[in-house]
Amino acid sequence: MQRPPFTALAAVYDAIMADVEYDHWADFVLSYARDQELELHDALDLACGTGGFTRELWAAGLNVTGVDGSAEMLDVARGRLPDVRFEVGDLRTFDLGKPFDLVTCVFDSLNNLLTPEDLGAALSRAAAHLRPGGLLACDLNTRLGVRELWEGDEIEGVARAAGGQEVHYHWSHHYDAAQDLGVVQAFCRVMGEGGEFEEFVETHRERGYDPAEVSALLGPAGFVSWEIVEYPDYAEPEPRTPRVWVFARRGEAA
């Protein structure tokens, strides 16, 4: 029943996450880019999963490429966006051999990198895939956000998958103080129309990163300027801000 992260979950992920506001997030990112008078043509969506945010960038007219570490999640993404290029890749080491105007990584995906060294490596790969002056837009849960992920430390519900199956889910969260990690046990029971069912559990771990920790990594990664803000008003984060957004620019060509 125990499965690796983002494998069995891929088939029911979009049903469970149907309320995620990918469209609002895309508007948030693209509005920032417009305010900076950036011309965006090519975008790279990192940790794109099943393509929810990728689809919004594509709908906005961008030529989008998606990268994710889960082949199962990308199988779903290719089904919903057959004209988009998707590649399996590790955020710390991927190399597509071409630059982009915009690189994104949303839905606290960078928190799955459990050490500052790994996060720094991912930020360096993002910078390496930006054209001079290009923009990285990403979000991260802060340390507080990872400690207090959900009120009551659990969520549960029933959703309907695209194939008609009924998905019962119960996800529980706890904070492992010894490792300084948030741990989510994601249990799902997928019910078929004939009463048959499949159950699985995936364990997901996240490390929180506060703004000062992220700032310390951006310069060495290759960025020359950045802002760390709150959603949706671009305000300066407060001590109890659970999630921040980072907008970082690669330097212009010499």
Rounded Cα gap, residues 191 and 103, in angstroms: 38
- CA 126, 130, 133, 139 dihedral sign is negative
Number of H helices, E strands in the chain: 7, 12
Per-residue pLDDT, 254:
45
CA 196 and chain centroid, separation: 33
Q: In this structure, what are the phi and psi dihedrals at residue 176, rounded to the nearest 5 degrees?
A: -95, 100
**Which residues on adjacent β-strands are paired with residue 225?**
249
Of 106, 102, 163, 111, nearest to 136 by C-alpha is 102
**CB distance 51 to 66 below 8 Å:** yes
Residue 207's identity, in one-letter code, is R
Of 45, 21, 38, nearest to 231 by C-alpha is 21
Q: In this structure, what are the phi and psi dihedrals at residue 68, rounded to the nearest 5 degrees?
A: -155, 155
Per-residue pLDDT, 253:
62
- CA 46, 47, 51, 55 dihedral sign is negative
**CB distance 173 to 28 below 8 Å:** no
Rg value, the chain, Cα: 18
Say what the pTM is. 0.97
Q: Which two tokens stand for residue 143?
A: 């340390």
Q: Which domains can be identified in the chain, with CATH numbers?
A: 2-143+209-250 (3.40.50.150), 146-206 (2.20.25.110)
Cα separations in angstroms, 82 against 57, 87, 106: 14, 13, 21
**CB distance 213 to 107 below 8 Å:** no
Per-residue pLDDT of the chain (254 residues; tens, 9 = 90+): 899 999 999 999 999 999 999 999 999 999 999 999 999 999 999 999 999 999 999 999 999 999 999 999 999 999 999 999 999 999 999 999 999 999 999 999 999 999 999 999 999 999 999 999 999 999 999 999 999 999 899 999 999 998 889 999 999 999 999 999 999 999 999 998 777 889 999 999 999 999 999 999 999 999 999 999 999 999 999 999 999 999 999 987 64
CB contact burial 104-134 (16+ within 10 A = b; e otherwise): bbbbbbbbbbeeeebbbbbbbbbbebbbeeb
